[in-house]
Structure 1
């Protein structure tokens, strides 16, 4: 994978994180109007897990870029 490919992948991961963050904010606003804690916990934990996974993947690609740059 080229450096440009890695940068593009990282950009995609970060963009997805922004979308997930926005979804979390909108979800929180929606919950203010509803009273279903089981649904809110499931949805919120799913979004948080997705954010952690994508952050890890982006971090791995950044680590590979730094390793290549250091060689």
Structure 2
């Protein structure tokens, strides 16, 4: 995988994290306004777990890009 492909993957992960974070914010706002939330605790926990997994994957890809940058000679 090239650096460009890795960076594109990281960008996709970041966008997904943003969407998941927004879902949690909306859920919190809904809990403040309604007595019958649409997302269950189980769904909220699933979103949180997805955020953790995607963050780890993004971190791994960043590490690969950084290690390749350190190994390649400076231009």
> C-alpha offsets along residues 26-64 of structure 1, whole Å, 9 cap, x if unaligned?
01112221246xx2x212111110100000000000000
Q: Which runs of 4+ in 1 moved over 6 A?
A: none
Distance 2:2 2:36 in 1: 49
**Residues matched between the structures, number:** 69
Matched residue, 2:22: 22
Give the gaps of 5 or more residues in structure 1.
Answer: none
Task: Find the counterpart in structure 2 of residue 55 from structure 1.
Answer: 55
Structure 2-normalised TM-score? 0.84
Please, which runs of 5 or more residues in structure 2 have no aligned partner?
none
SS at match of 2:35: coil
In 2, the alpha carbon distance for the partners of 1:34 and 1:16 equals: 28
Provide the residue aligned with 1:44 in structure 2. 44
Q: Report the CA distance between 1:9 and its aligned residue.
A: 0.3
d(CA) in 1 for partners of 2:44, 2:35: 14
Q: TM-score, normalised by structure 1?
A: 0.88
RMSD of aligned residue pairs (Cα, Å): 1.5
